[in-house]
Structure formats: structure tokens, C-alpha cells
Amino acid sequence: MFKLNNKIFLNNARNCLRIFLRTAGIKELWVPYELCSVVFRAAKAEGVNLKFYHIDENFMPSKPFPRNAFILYPNYFGICDEIACELAAKYPNFIYDATQSFFAEPLGIATVYSARKFFPVTDGGILISGLNITTDFKRETDTPNFSTDPLNFDHENFLKNELRFNRDKENKLISNKSRLQLSQINPEQEATQRRENFWKLHEIFKNVNELQIPSRITGPMVYPLKLSNPQINECGIFILKYNYLKNIIPLPLEMAGNKPAIEKLFANII
């Protein structure tokens, strides 16, 4: 339907999705039950009727879709590159939620990225599509930075920033400060470091992880550790929970070089 040749930078990923759905005139969208609720709210804000599907234990949609349906599929934890490619090849109206896989190649008729999930910026979402989208929006305010390092996480200001986005329903361009910060990042170096940390963690947990880890991963967000009884000890490291994905602990990749923290966190497992 569209060629992926246009890129715009907005203040967050949910607004990237909203502006694409609006501009493309999409009225019905298939989304997984296992997804952050902000995506549901963003689609509904554009008057889109949602149809839901389940994923199996390997994150594959459990049933096929109608051939020409508009389908949103998230690259869970940044480890579902192969599934995303397979779905994009099969369905002509595939929309790629790459918010958990910043370094993945764009697919389908649109791809949405989130800079905030990967880098210490206060705002930033990217939409790549084939649409010529008018971007005469206000620009996001340059907000003071706060630490998103899992080893020194500023949870109070993180929540304040999230509440700010929840209150502000207006589409905005990315802030000047975040745009500058992103331009100074070496994406190949970042992706390589993430993959190295991912496989270091996998070497530690491969014998206990109940999740099947694919062999090809482009740029993971975290290391997903699935346990039947995921009880962990307190170790001072911030670990974000995903309520819609049960029994999976998303380990920050920064933990790869912190063996004492890993041993403390999983004293009864490894």
C-alpha cells in the first residue's frame, strides 16, 4: 500500500501511531490483547475500532488474520524480528510496533519507534511510513533530563514524565533537546553493545529460562527471563514489570556486567 520513505519525529510513540491511523484513514485495527493500554487509548482516540487477537507462548499470533486486515504487531522485548518479518511478508497492511526494538529495520506500511525506551531522553517517537504527513504541530518542551539507568533509576521523575504525556493529548514534535541527543548517538555501536549484553545474560540463564530465545536478534530492549514462579530478591536495580505478559522478568541489559547483583537477585536460581 505504501513505500516506507518518510520519517517524522514526534514527542512519543503513541502520537506517531495516532497520526498514522488518522492520515491513513484506518477505521479498524487488529491488536494483541497482550499490549500496553496506552496503545489501545491512542487508537480509540482516533475513532478506530479495535479487534483483538492472542499470541502464543512464542509471541506468534495464535490465529491467522483476514488477508487485507490492518494488523498491529509489537516486537516483544526486541526478540521477535523473525515473526515480524514473516507477518509483514504475509499481510499487506501490516503495521510494525517497534517500540521495543529501536534498531529493527522498518516493515509493513508503517513502523513506530520509541526513543525513550532505549536512550536517556525525556521524549521522542519516530514514525516511518509512505505517507506525506503534515507536521505543523507545536514542539515539545525541553524538559530536564533524569536518570533512566536501571542501576540508578529516578522513579519519581520517570512517573512525572509519564503522567505529563497521559495528560497532554496533543500531537507534538520531538523537543529540540531530545532531537539533538538522538543525533549524537551511534546506533551501530549501541545495537552491538545491546546484543553483546543480551547474549551474556542468556549464557547465565539459558538453562533456567523457559522462553525460547531466537538465534537472530537485532537490537533487544531487555533480556526476557520466563520462570514458572518468578520470585526474585531485592537488589536495588529497577526492573519494569509488564502486567500483560505473565511470568516474564524483563532484565535490564546493563545487568550483564554486574555479576554480584545477578547472584543476589537470583540467589536460588543460578
Instruction: State pLDDT tens for residues 106-141.
Output: 999 999 999 999 999 999 999 999 998 888 899 999
Q: What is the pLDDT of residue 1?
A: 43
Last residue of a domain, one of 168, 183, 198: 183
Domain presence at residue 1: no
Last residue of a domain, one of 115, 148, 183: 183
| Same domain? 40 vs 164 | yes
Containing structural domain, residue 221? 187-265
pTM of the model: 0.93
Domain presence at residue 40: yes
| Same domain? 146 vs 261 | no
| Same domain? 34 vs 148 | yes
Q: Which residues of 208-245 are buried (b: 16+ CB within 10 A; e: fewer)?
A: ebebebeeebbbbbbbbbbbeeeebeebebebeebeeb
| Same domain? 21 vs 103 | yes
| Same domain? 162 vs 194 | no
Greatest CA separation found in the chain?
Answer: 55
| Same domain? 210 vs 80 | no
Domain presence at residue 233: yes
| Same domain? 43 vs 21 | yes
| Same domain? 131 vs 50 | yes
Domain presence at residue 129: yes
pLDDT of 4 strictly over 70: no
Last residue of a domain, one of 162, 183, 204: 183
Q: How many CB atoms lie within 10 A of CB 169?
A: 12
Domain presence at residue 208: yes
* Backbone phi and psi for residue 40, each to the nearest 5 degrees, phi listed first: -60, -45
Mean per-residue pLDDT of the chain: 90
Could you give the number of structural domains in the chain?
A: 2
Mean pLDDT in residue range 17-23? 96
pLDDT of 20 strictly over 90: yes
